[in-house]
Structure 1
Amino acid sequence: MSSAIVLDPESVDFATLRRLWRGAPARLDNGARERIAASAEVVDRIVAGGETVYGVNTGFGLLANTRIPSERLAELQRNLILSHACGLGDPLPRHVVRLMIALKLLGLGRGYSGVRPEVIDALQALIDHDAMPVVPAQGSVGASGDLAPLAHLIAALMGFGQIDVAGAIMPAADALVRLGMAPLELGPKEGLALINGTQASTAIALDALFAAERVFGAALVAGAMSVDALKGSIKPFDPRISALRGQPGQIRVAAQIAALLDGSAIIASHARCGRVQDPYSFRCQPQVMGASLDLLANAARTLTIEAAAVTDNPIVFGEDDSAISGGNFHAQPVAFAGDTIAIAMCEVGSISERRTAVLVDPKMSGLPAFLTEDGGVNSGLMIPQVTAAALVSENKSLAFPASVDSIPTSAGQEDHVSMAPIAARKAASIVRNVAGVLAVELIAAAQGIDFHAPVATSERLGAAHARVRGITARLAQDRYLADEMRALQAAILDGGWLDDFTIA
């Protein structure tokens, strides 16, 4: 563990979260453990003093006014977890569950939640042993926190449900035995501290955002390749244009595309051509994708703050031994971030599909129809473009904001909810779809560049072209393309198309 990330709840940045998402080992810092122990002592004093405190010695939600006797407090916390572990749907990916656990450690590590160090040890052990509870994706409305997903996470530590131990899924009780762990027994307040919180929504949203970062880098490469395939103008990427507008994302996108095209012999070959303006999907890339980049950067800021936020309820304050009920579990900031990612990436896919449509249209591109030399007998890239259009249309439906919806729960006590996990899951679906749209564009752009041989593209785009050709060969005649398209989509999601690119 010497190379592990030290999780300092007082200092979390986007780069650290990215490393966690990629699977770097992690442990909570010692200072956090001291704060946790002190907070647990506050809860002990509250219980000993006999004060009525929500979630410590009362029921939950509409039952908050029901006082629970001291001898039943352990039963109260156990029942809370079991009653709330009622999610449905496919399991969250194990790397998302791992990120959930790390975020829960960060939030608890602030020292305002009243859990014992033993709880932290149990969560830490899951990371150390690569043992990820099986957590259903559906069942949370994003307030009072992600109750059902987090309950499944904690139920596994109690011996209920299932745990994926390094890829082998087994009953949680068996997994705990294999790991040498005793089932977790919860003390006062601990169950509520563990399931009140936004860690599931935030983890899903961060997963979508980090995937979007990779996909956005590929979109810049694909857009630049398409400009070369079209024999388009580089003038729209002149930094003076973007500087006059001043939007930071636009400035960055223009600079990236110009740098990717720098040194292209194809660009040089038509320096004095008569074309005045390219279609918007080519020359307005800085304006459209730059605006998307700014939205992604804002989502990164929100989610970085949320990663170490105290989002359970009530919150325990040691200076006066108080426990105050509030609403930090409401995931509205995460919901807006998820919808922001969805909308931003929807437009990245939309403008990509339009570039592909131009390239396959001989009237627009000057290239062979559907980028095939033997048209008629061969359909070329006719239907891949249709696939891209279908994905873009699906994304438009998915991009409708979940955050503007609400539905009352818990007999009206929880009468406004965020829908953050739904926003985050939709964003993740959109990002995957955009990777598919870009796979089609990269195939089309590579095919267009091939038609300009022996005149070559730039060195950087040449490397990207070679990567495309390592997955899908030049389309000389019609063949079965679905597997190659899927492989290229996966390669986009794997990243590496623009290694130095980050959204924040």
Structure 2
Amino acid sequence: MSIVLIPGQVSLSTLERIYRSNDAVTLDPATRPGIAASAARIAEIAAGDVAVYGVNTGFGKLASVRIAPGDVATLQRNLILSHCCGVGTPLDAPIVRLIMAIKLMSLGRGASGVRPQIIALLEAMLALGVLPVIPGQGSVGASGDLAPLAHMAAAMIGEGYVTVNGVQQPAATALAAVGLEPVTLAAKEGLALINGTQVSTALALVGLFRAHRAAQSALITGALSTDAAMGSSAPFHAEIHTLRGHAGQIDAAATLRGLLAGSQIRESHLEGDERVQDPYCIRCQPQVDGACLDVLRQAGHTLTIEANAVTDNPLVLSDGQVLSGGNFHAEPVALAADQIALAVCEIGAIAQRRIALLVDPALSFGLPAFLAKNPGLNSGLMIAEVTSAALMSENKQMSHPASVDSTPTSANQEDHVSMACHGARRLLLMTDNLFSIVGIEAMTAAQGVEFRAPLQTGQELLKALAAIRAHIPALDEDRYMAVDLAAATQLIAQGTLIDAVSQNLLPELAQ
């Protein structure tokens, strides 16, 4: 199936579909006249005598250097090659696809001055799976994601490397093999391709999608932990949360109520339970996870706007003026990425406290120490909890805002930068850690609920429990645990746990 992009109107759900699928991506044909008109305007300027930044001048601190009309194509090629300075591990193929699609969305607004050939080549490379090799490091998040986007543009001119079906090869070879020709860049086209926030935005979006999956999963594991600890569902009463009014909190409480409905475990201690209140990690789940959900939704709103934005420079305006501005500065993305990082950290922090509660016999209301069937001889989930604490601590360290950092670059021409790209890229590792923390909670909560037999949890959580047990057997005696933790991580990362329960119970990302 093909995804047709209407620039300025692409939804968050469509962006997630681009990331999670291999569907072809094309621009709405209605964009063609605007694209052609802006390209014609740039060609007119390139042939004239008036100096316009990036069209017939040098770049950055070299903007005062005038370029002769006969050297414009060479200027653009040199720009791309000189900016291919990325380092580090290349970005995964789904992220590269999203970067390319968001670049199409930006160019499709008709303000960048690129010819239709540029659009056609990007569309064809996406359709045929010819994906540029883009190193993950090298952008400071202002003047665009210059280095990583240069690696994308290099593949389009037959330089650098691409992957096809996961195999890396020279770009020129791969393009020829699928019947595509490298493009010769015209005036401003190289600059249009490398100016922009598409790498930062794509990385932040991927972090957002992963964080939301973890947040949904954490509500399921949190509900299981509540039953395992014989916690009260009274704090999830709807009116408590409507009295406060935060949408995320209201939604999280509704999810917990729906998941815990019909639990025999809960019914068994409605009478005679001497505890007045549960610890915050049980009682305040809606307040914490709900606040994180609100933050993720706000970040999603910001990133959807940014993905649909024109962020290169200069821009061809509707009246034909070509003006230099600063839309390439990725401050909105940097702040959104920092918001996501804080939410990821907090979802993991409260989940880790539930794990710690369940393995502690002083707190777990009758469960054996470390959820071992023969404590002492067996250590049970003792060190799984320690691992979750280690991962939680790593995320705390990484949650320091990237957006408050800045360093002057390009001979002080670019003297304040956003650091959005690495602020967004760190979300990949943070969400990996969170998947493992929530996966460990799935293991501990499942073990705890099973200790309550013959009492059973509710129907929804029984489905979740079955999904856990399909991948991770009950811990009857100590065994090699790394395999179980890896399986638990994948249970969360791949969405298997959230697929096990009724989808109408889970809070959506976009409202």
Pick one of 4, 8, 11 that aligns with 2:9. Answer: 11
Q: Which amino acid aligns with 2:4?
A: V
Equivalent residue for 2:291?
291
What is the alpha-carbon distance in structure 1 between the residues aligned to residue 120 and residue 350 of structure 2? 48
Which has the larger displacement, 45-54 or 104-113?
45-54
Equivalent residue for 1:503?
509
Equivalent residue for 1:187?
186
- CA offsets per residue over residues 393-443 of structure 1, 9 Å max, x none? 000000000000000000000000000011101122111101100111110
Is 1:246 the equivalent of 2:245? yes
**1:354 shift after superposition:** 0.2
What is the alpha-carbon distance in structure 1 between the residues aligned to residue 325 and residue 377 of structure 2? 68
What is the alpha-carbon distance in structure 1 between the residues aligned to residue 377 and residue 405 of structure 2? 50
The aligned runs of 1:244-323 (5 Å cut-off) are 244-272=243-271, 273-319=273-319, 321-323=320-322
Equivalent residue for 1:215?
214
The aligned runs of 1:64-213 (5 Å cut-off) are 64-213=63-212
Q: Which amino acid aligns with 1:153?
A: M
Unaligned runs of 5+ in 2: none
8 Å contact from structure 1 (residues 115, 189) kept in 2: yes
Equivalent residue for 2:347?
348
Equivalent residue for 1:32?
31
**1:48 shift after superposition:** 2.6
Please give the secondary structure, in 2, of the residue aligned with 1:410.
coil
**1:253 shift after superposition:** 0.4
Unaligned runs of 5+ in 1: none
Please give the secondary structure, in 1, of the residue aligned with 2:136.
strand
Q: Which amino acid aligns with 1:12?
A: V
What is the alpha-carbon distance in structure 2 between the residues aligned to residue 426 and residue 10 of structure 1? 27
Please give the secondary structure, in 2, of the residue aligned with 1:497.
helix
Equivalent residue for 1:55?
54
**1:317 shift after superposition:** 1.8
What is the alpha-carbon distance in structure 1 between the residues aligned to residue 57 and residue 47 of structure 2? 15
8 Å contact from structure 2 (residues 468, 491) kept in 1: no
What is the alpha-carbon distance in structure 2 between the residues aligned to residue 64 and residue 318 of structure 1? 24
8 Å contact from structure 1 (residues 214, 496) kept in 2: no
**1:387 shift after superposition:** 0.1
Q: Which amino acid aligns with 1:174?
A: T
Equivalent residue for 1:421?
421
**1:10 shift after superposition:** 2.9
8 Å contact from structure 2 (residues 130, 175) kept in 1: no
Equivalent residue for 2:493?
493
**1:184 shift after superposition:** 1.4
What is the alpha-carbon distance in structure 1 between the residues aligned to residue 231 and residue 338 of structure 2? 33
8 Å contact from structure 1 (residues 202, 334) kept in 2: yes
RMSD between aligned residues: 0.9
- CA offsets per residue over residues 224-244 of structure 1, 9 Å max, x none? 000000000000000110111
The aligned runs of 1:459-474 (5 Å cut-off) are 459-474=459-474
What is the alpha-carbon distance in structure 1 between the residues aligned to residue 150 and residue 456 of structure 2? 57
What is the alpha-carbon distance in structure 2 between the residues aligned to residue 422 and residue 11 of structure 1? 27
**1:503 shift after superposition:** 1.6
Is 1:480 the equivalent of 2:486? no
Please give the secondary structure, in 1, of the residue aligned with 2:270.
coil
Q: Which amino acid aligns with 1:310?
A: V
The aligned runs of 1:339-418 (5 Å cut-off) are 339-365=338-364, 366-418=366-418
Equivalent residue for 1:452?
452
8 Å contact from structure 1 (residues 217, 497) kept in 2: no
**1:275 shift after superposition:** 1.6
What is the alpha-carbon distance in structure 2 between the residues aligned to residue 402 and residue 251 of structure 1? 30
What is the alpha-carbon distance in structure 1 between the residues aligned to residue 72 and residue 477 of structure 2? 72
- CA offsets per residue over residues 121-148 of structure 1, 9 Å max, x none? 1111111101111100000000101000
What is the alpha-carbon distance in structure 2 between the residues aligned to residue 119 and residue 479 of structure 1? 56
Is 1:431 the equivalent of 2:437? no
- CA offsets per residue over residues 119-174 of structure 1, 9 Å max, x none? 00111111110111110000000010100010000101111111101222111111
**1:19 shift after superposition:** 1.1
What is the alpha-carbon distance in structure 2 between the residues aligned to residue 423 and residue 339 of structure 1? 7
8 Å contact from structure 1 (residues 42, 318) kept in 2: no
Equivalent residue for 2:233?
234
Q: Which amino acid aligns with 2:2?
A: A
What is the alpha-carbon distance in structure 2 between the residues aligned to residue 432 and residue 339 of structure 1? 16
TM-score, scaled relative to structure 2 = 0.97
Pick one of 19, 22, 40 that aligns with 1:21. Answer: 19
Count of residues paired in the alignment? 501
Q: Which amino acid aligns with 2:163?
A: D
8 Å contact from structure 2 (residues 7, 106) kept in 1: yes
**1:318 shift after superposition:** 4.3
Structure 1 residue ranges, 4+ long, deviating more than 4 angstroms after superposition: none
Q: Which amino acid aligns with 2:126?
A: I
**1:29 shift after superposition:** 0.6
8 Å contact from structure 2 (residues 218, 351) kept in 1: yes
TM-score, scaled relative to structure 1 = 0.98
8 Å contact from structure 2 (residues 467, 496) kept in 1: no
* Percent of aligned pairs sharing the same letter: 54
8 Å contact from structure 2 (residues 468, 497) kept in 1: no
**1:347 shift after superposition:** 0.2
What is the alpha-carbon distance in structure 2 between the residues aligned to residue 476 and residue 459 of structure 1? 24
- CA offsets per residue over residues 455-501 of structure 1, 9 Å max, x none? 11111100111111111111110000111211210121111433533
What is the alpha-carbon distance in structure 2 between the residues aligned to residue 256 and residue 230 of structure 1? 18
